[in-house]
Amino acid sequence: MKILVVDDEQKLARVLAERLKLRGFDVTPVFDGASALARLHGEHFDGVVLDLRLPDMDGIQVMQQIREKMPDVKIVILSGHATEHDFKTCRQLGAAACFHKPAKITELAKALTDFQKQA
Amino acid sequence: MILINRLTSIADHFKPRFWNAGTSETQGQILFNYRKFWFSSITLRSLVSLVPIAILFMFTYVLENKAIRNENHLHTIRLTSNTRRALTYFFEERLDALKFIVQEEKFESLNNHESLSYILRNLQRGFGGIIDLGVINASGIQTNYAGPFDLKNKDYRNQKWFIGCARNGSYLSDVFLGYRNMPHMIIALKRATPKGSFYILRATLDIKKFVQILSSLELSEKSEAFLCNREGLLQTPSKYYGGLLNKIDWPVPEYSKHTQVLEAVDRSGNPVLIGYAYIENSPYILMLVKRNEVIMQGWYTLRKEINWIFGISVFVTLIVVLGISTFMVNKIYDADQTRLKAMERLEGSSRLISIGRLAAGVAHEINNPLAVIGENAGLIDDMFNLKKEYKDDHQLKELISAVLESVERCGEITRQLLEFARHFEPKIQPLQIGKIISSVLSFLGKEAAYRNIQIHIDIPDDFPVVDSDHGSLQQIFLNLINNAFQAMDKGGRLEIRAEKHAKGSVSISIADNGCGISEEDRQKIFEPFFTTKGLKGGTGLGLSITYGLVRKLRGEISVQSRVGTGTTFTVTLPIKHGGDVKDETLAG
């Protein structure tokens, strides 16, 4: 199960990737919106863990582009400052789950596995 | 004491609502001086309404005065003319009688005492007013005399009347004393004798007769009529202006054929109106004297009425002006207060919005490192669970779960930041502007970095500590810097500069090199709900609230801008505040 972790906080992205790997996912960390989109174009991913605030573009924009081009990729939002309203918008745009930072790894993994099952 | 209290409470009852605006007794914020506005409104309205009233009354006054004066003059002239006619007739009648006698009677009969006495009796019976008759020959010797005095053979050669009559043929004398030492007057008529000489028939007139004519005039109180001669000596006794042969109080008026009036002042200083007429063929001037105070009585009454009406008009006008002004200023005051309250409410909600933004910024800043800690600790925990050598080390596992628990708690705290930031109290305290700006920039630093905006701060080392409210200043700078950010594209430059002024104030300017503001927009920029951000965002309250906050801190805010070049907002604040700001605790 291939997962792409997108977060501008590199340490966080790396550790998150590490922890998800321990739970059996094949994880790649990237640190901005553009490289995330580039990676998604290049290869197939089953899911994306996405921060809403990225240095080059808005997380929601990234999500919209993913949804347009790769509708089968499931998206989990992980944000440090999003409001419930933002999360609602994200869900409307097709996010499978939304989490505030810091999130529990078990819940995150469960969300990824759940949608994996659905897929 | 009770009375004073009662009066005060009555005064309070009538006191307009705006009266104490801006003083410690009210919560209301003062936008401008209502009392001054009220006073100037009253002054202007009073002027506008009272000046025409005053002009109208002045005209009425002048015209009425003139009308009454004219009427008095006309009345006096009429009366004087009539009296003159009566007097002229009196003299002419007697002169004609003498003429008749001189024509009819022979010189011998006139020179006969019995016959002269007979004529005198007839005259007294027919005309009255004649005391005696005398015949004087050309040498001035009275040759015959009929009357109560013994004046036969008196020499009149040097008497004025004799000379006058000898020259002119007839003579009407002044009142004089003569040989009899009694005031009397004379009518004399000259008659030529066939021998070429002449004699004069003289009649003495009783002045009582024309005093009677004069006193028969129906004159008002303190008015009188009398005769005087051309030297100004009284020819009939006067009640107010002296006895017979006294000099009148005013100069003898110039000769005029017609009846005239003149205004003069008598010896007691009373202004008088004099009607006078020269009686033809006589030395007499008829004078009719009326006291102004009496004849103007009607005017005084009218004037009193006019004054009353004027006074009442002014009073009513002033009451109306007072009422209208108070009503109007009260309305303005109420409208201002309503607006201020709305502004305060909006300010409160906007403050909440900014606090929300601030809290969100803090949460973001803390949540990221917190997430890193959490994930790292989580990884350690994962490793403990996966690797056999740590699996049974309960102490380490407990330590790591303590870290994870704390991270979770911190996460909870950041999420609740919004709740915590609900209330805060403003308080004037010495503040370092630099620190506040730095703290505001720390919230916005990330955005600046993302948008590649350069921030340049220039605060001199000796910049004074300023008495102000931390929260308000923070919000002022946050709003202004936020605005600057919104005006700039990527790669903009923000300059924050602080300066100290001599007048005990400081100014902080925030300049951007963004899109700038048009002149038209610049004038409205501090108005509530004015926004250039369209529907995209912005309530249009940010700058109006900033304005309100600066004013509350007793400062000023100004803006300079050029389209395409950038905008500079300058906030000027007093160094010493000297007072407490009003309560700004947020509702709810």
- pLDDT of residue B535 exceeding 60, the answer is no
pLDDT of residue B364: 65
Q: Per-residue pLDDT tens for A13-25?
A: 999 999 999 888 9
Residue B181 CB-density burial (10 A; 0-12 exposed, 13-18 middle, 19+ buried): exposed
Q: Which residues does chain B have within 8 Å of residue A104's beta carbon, measured at their own beta carbons?
A: 408
Q: How far is A45 from chain B (nearest CA, A)?
A: 23
Spatial distance between the Cα atoms of B344 and B336, rounded to a whole number of angstroms:
12
Q: pLDDT tens-digit profile of B221-278?
A: 778 888 888 888 888 888 888 888 888 888 888 888 899 998 888 888 888 889 999 9
pLDDT at A118 over 60: no
pLDDT of residue B31: 55
Mean pLDDT of all residues in A83-101: 84
d(C-alpha B419, C-alpha B403), whole Å:
25
Q: Which pLDDT band, with edges at 50, 70 and 90, does B295 fall under?
A: confident
Minimal Cβ distance to A105: which of B372, B378, B450: B378
The residues of B whose Cβ lies within 8 A of any Cβ of A are 360-361, 363-364, 367-368, 370-376, 378-379, 382-383, 386, 407-408, 410-411, 415, 450
Q: Which of A15, A53, A80 sits opposite B379 (nearest CB)?
A: A15
pLDDT score, position B25 = 44
Instruction: Compare CB distances from A100 to B376, B379, B411 and report the shortest one's residue.
Output: B411
Q: Which residues on neighbouring strands pair with residue B559, listed in sequence order?
A: B569
Which among B232, B229, B236, B244 is positioned nearest to B282, based on CA atoms?
A: B229
- For residue B15, pLDDT over 90 is answered with no
What per-residue confidence (pLDDT) applies to B534? 53
Percent of chain A with pLDDT strictly greater than 70: 93
ipTM of the complex: 0.81
pLDDT class for B361, splitting at 50, 70, 90?
Answer: low
**Using CB atoms, which residue from B373, B378, B407 is nearest to A19?**
B378
Examine the pLDDT at B291 and tell me if it is beyond 90: no
Q: E strand or H helix at B260, and its extent?
A: strand B260-265
Question: How high is the pLDDT of residue B297?
Answer: 81
Phi, psi for residue A38 in degrees, rounded to 5: -65, -45
Of the listed ranges B14-23, B142-151, B404-413, B543-552, the least confidently predicted one is: B14-23
CA distance A117 to chain B (A): 24
Distance CA A36, CA B161 (A): 150
Report the pLDDT averaged over residues B280-297.
Answer: 85
Asked if A107 is an interface residue toward chain B (Cβ–Cβ < 8 A), one would say: no
pLDDT at B123 over 90: no
Phi, psi of B427 (to 5 degrees): -155, 130
User: Does position B163 have pLDDT exceeding 50, yes or no?
Assistant: yes
Closest-approach residue (CA) in chain A for B360: A81
Query: What residues in A contact B386, CB-CB < 8 Å?
Result: 22
What would the 3-class secondary structure string for B311-334 be? HHHHHHHHHHHHHHHHHHHHHHHH
Confidence at residue B585, expressed as pLDDT on a 0 to 100 scale? 31
For A19, name the nearest residue in chain B, comparing CA atoms only: B379
Q: Are B34 and B20 in contact (CB under 8 A)?
A: no
User: Is B457 within 8 Å of B493 (Cβ atoms)?
Assistant: no
Q: Confidence class of residue B357 from pLDDT cuts 50, 70 and 90?
A: low
Would the CB atoms of B382 and A103 count as touching at under 8 Å?
Answer: no
Q: Average pLDDT for residues B188-211, to the nearest whole number?
A: 86
Touching check for A105 and chain B: CB below 8 Å? yes
Give A18's contacts in chain B (Cβ within 8 Å). 379
More confident residue, B522 or B333: B333
pLDDT for B390 = 76
pLDDT of residue B280 exceeding 70? yes
Contact status of A42 with chain B (Cβ, < 8 Å): no
Question: For residues B354 and B479, what is the distance between their CA atoms, to the nearest angstrom?
Answer: 8
Average pLDDT, chain B: 82
Residue whose tokens read 């015959």: B144
The C-alpha angle B330, B335, B336, rounded to 5 degrees, equals 95
pLDDT of residue B116 exceeding 70: yes
Say whether residue A11 is in contact with chain B using an 8 A CB cutoff: yes
pLDDT tens across B396-408, in order? 888 888 888 888 8
Q: What is the mean pLDDT of residues B422-445?
A: 74
Residues A55-80 have pLDDT tens digits of 888 888 899 899 888 888 889 999 87
Q: Do B386 and A80 touch (CB under 8 A)?
A: no
Asked whether the beta carbons of residue B368 and residue A101 sit closer than 8 angstroms, the reply is yes
* Contact between B405 and B378 (Cβ < 8 Å): no
Give B418-479 as a DSSP string.
HHHTT-----EEEE-HHHHHHHHHHHHHHHHHHTT-EEEEE--TTPPPEEEEHHHHHHHHHH
**What is the predicted pLDDT for the residue at B351?**
66
Per the listing, tokens 């900033």 go with B546
Q: Which residue does chain A place closest to B372, by CA atoms? A: A12
Q: Give the pair of three-digit tokens for residue A22.
A: 């321990």
Across B305-310, average pLDDT: 90
